[in-house]
């Protein structure tokens, strides 16, 4: 049951990375791909029906962590307290920027909220990547299970590298999403940016991979114990090759699927890197919080898993329905923003 919960939480966070990832990507590229007011409205309309629903996965993962791994929740949320407050305010900034932008025709008003949408998206993608990098690298967790460090300690070179990787991968993901959802000049610009970002993504994947081996002093333990796990990183290579082959204007759907595959492969690789730990300790490996010493009782895990599965099925059904209803190219007259 402990192992099942590890992968359930991993699946929920991966779903968030994929779904809200293209929202963040659209936001981080909005000032560069969308040049006119009409194009920025189109970009917002492309994510308008789904962006707030996509964030449910992050909230649900945090809530489920309370009942499945309460010690991880307590340590992680206390250690990342300032970062989590920043994430909360950035989520609010993005939502307010999306909703407030169309409340006035004044160009300065719209420019203000366009900037807020961009800042919120870029910094949120960066902070989430930094958080993932710190989990992979390890945190200063003492024998008492408490975080022993400061916010500045989290802004270490490796975590910043993973943060930059998160920004560029999600920007590529967002550009690919706009390729699927838009037409005309906006579509052509999205195709060009997708091609450019692909090269940056490849470079960052290589850099972060090398940095990971250096930081962890070799291959992660899971890959040593289970050699079959090496199959997963090859999906990263497959996603990059697929993205390269989908550079043409006619390969927009394939390009979007390639960025989805890349995000899933990166998240799976990260999970395998730390397994069975949830929060590795840099003070002493024995102080790490893993799926056994930080879990709730077996009964609580079973009951909460049933509740989580029921809830997540409902979310999947709703999300699938919304995406099917609003599939295809977006147009100004059909949008809300």
Place of tokens 């989805």: 260
List the single range of 94-98, 138-142, 243-247 with lowest mean pLDDT.
138-142
User: What pLDDT, on a 0 to 100 scale, did the predictor assign at position 337?
Assistant: 67
pLDDT reading at 20 higher than 70: yes
Helix (H, G, I), strand (E, B) or coil at 336: coil
Q: How confident is residue 211, by pLDDT bands cut at 50, 70 and 90?
A: very high
Predicted structure pTM score: 0.93
Q: Which residue has the higher pLDDT, 82 or 116?
A: 116
Helix (H, G, I), strand (E, B) or coil at 16: helix
User: What pLDDT, on a 0 to 100 scale, did the predictor assign at position 255?
Assistant: 94
User: What pLDDT, on a 0 to 100 scale, did the predictor assign at position 122?
Assistant: 95
Give the contacts of 325 (CB within 8 A, at least 6 positions apart).
49
Residues in the chain: 337
Per-residue pLDDT reduced to its tens digit, 256-290: 999 999 999 999 999 988 888 888 888 888 888 88
Decide if 33 contacts 178 (C-beta within 8 A): yes
User: What pLDDT, on a 0 to 100 scale, did the predictor assign at position 335?
Assistant: 63
Per-residue pLDDT reduced to its tens digit, 141-192: 888 777 887 777 788 999 999 999 999 999 999 999 999 999 888 999 999 9
């Amino acid at each position: 049951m402990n192992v099942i919960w590890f992968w359930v939480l991993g699946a929920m966070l991966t779903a968030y990375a994929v779904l809200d990832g293209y929202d963040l990507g659209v936001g981080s590229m909005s000032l560069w791909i969308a040049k006119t007011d009409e194009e920025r409205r189109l970009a917002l309309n492309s994510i308008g029906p789904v962006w707030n629903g996509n964030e449910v996965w992050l909230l649900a993962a945090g809530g489920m962590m309370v009942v499945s791994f309460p010690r991880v929740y307590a340590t992680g949320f206390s250690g990342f307290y300032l970062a989590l407050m920043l994430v909360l305010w950035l989520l609010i900034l993005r939502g307010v920027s999306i909703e407030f932008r169309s409340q006035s025709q004044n160009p300065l008003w719209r420019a203000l909220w366009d900037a807020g949408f961009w800042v919120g998206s870029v910094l949120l993608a960066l902070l989430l990547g930094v958080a993932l990098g710190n989990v992979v690298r390890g945190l200063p967790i003492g024998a008492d299970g408490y975080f022993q460090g400061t916010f500045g300690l989290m802004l270490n070179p490796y975590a910043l590298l993973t943060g930059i990787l998160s920004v560029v991968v999600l920007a590529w993901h967002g550009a690919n999403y706009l390729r699927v959802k838009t037409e005309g000049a906006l579509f052509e610009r999205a195709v060009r940016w997708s091609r450019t970002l692909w090269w940056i993504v490849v470079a960052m994947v290589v850099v972060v991979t090398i940095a990971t081996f250096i930081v962890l002093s070799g291959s992660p333990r899971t890959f040593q114990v289970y050699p079959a796990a090496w199959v997963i990183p090859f999906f990263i290579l497959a996603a990059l090759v697929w993205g390269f082959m989908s550079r043409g204007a006619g390969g927009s759907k394939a390009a979007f699927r390639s960025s989805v595959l890349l995000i899933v492969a990166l998240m799976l690789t990260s999970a395998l890197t730390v397994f069975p730990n949830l929060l590795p300790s840099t003070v002493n490996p024995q102080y790490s919080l893993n799926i056994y010493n930080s879990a709730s009782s077996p009964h609580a895990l079973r009951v909460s898993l049933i509740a989580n599965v029921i809830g997540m099925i409902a979310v999947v059904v709703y999300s699938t329905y919304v995406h099917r209803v609003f599939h295809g190219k977006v147009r100004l007259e059909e949008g809300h923003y």
